[in-house]
Amino acid sequence: MSTINFSAREINFKIVYYGCGLSGKTTNLKQIYDHVPGDGKGEMVSLQTEDERTLFFDFLPLDLGKVNGFKTRFHLYTVPGQVFYNSSRRLILRGVDGVVFVADSAPNRLRANAESLRNLRENLDEYNLKLGDLPYVIQLNKRDLPDALSVDMVRSVLDPTGTVPVFEAVAAEFRGVVEPLKAVSKLVLEKLAQKA
């Protein structure tokens, strides 16, 4: 849920990158961090335990403008990919405003993508949120794989209704990284405008 800092004249939003292990969530965040100008971003923070890592940072987007005279600040988070860190995944979703679901295009990862999406829905239920009511987009990462699944195949499993924006990406090469972030940010701002 967005928060407003009246003294700083900022509206803060939380965007979570969710997906199965090794799908490219961390790569996305690192690429975005590396490409946002220094004066427009906060510090990259990594919370690590022995086996788990969660990254987050915040930044002020340069081209999304202001909302009623307030700057918009987006806080980006990744969740641990491994299912056995589900309590951390659930905790990171607290107060979420939008989700970028990062799907792995490898054929042997289709089931893991589906399980991760199911897990996302279950964890949102803990906060009485439904994925369909939350701004979210799907990023099909690793499109450079020679045996990458077709967009239609992945969509048939992750979004059979065809209503969720889908973006193809190769996050390691910074291709298709900015577009899903801009799209989900725009959806978050539109949702805020509807409430006003």
Q: Structurally, how many domains does the chain consist of?
A: 1
From the centroid of its chain, how far is CA 164?
13
Burial class (CB in 10 A: 0-12, 13-18, 19+), 138: buried
Domain enclosing residue 137, as ranges = 3-195
Residue-wise pLDDT tens digits, 157-191? 999 999 999 999 999 999 999 999 999 999 999 99
- pLDDT in the model for residue 63: 46
Q: What is the CATH number of the domain that holds 17?
A: 3.40.50.300
Task: Please give the C-alpha separations between residue 160 and each of 107, 128, 153, 156, 157, in angstroms, as whole numbers.
Answer: 18, 23, 9, 4, 6
Residue-wise pLDDT tens digits, 4-62? 888 888 888 999 999 999 999 989 988 998 888 877 777 777 766 555 555 565 555 54
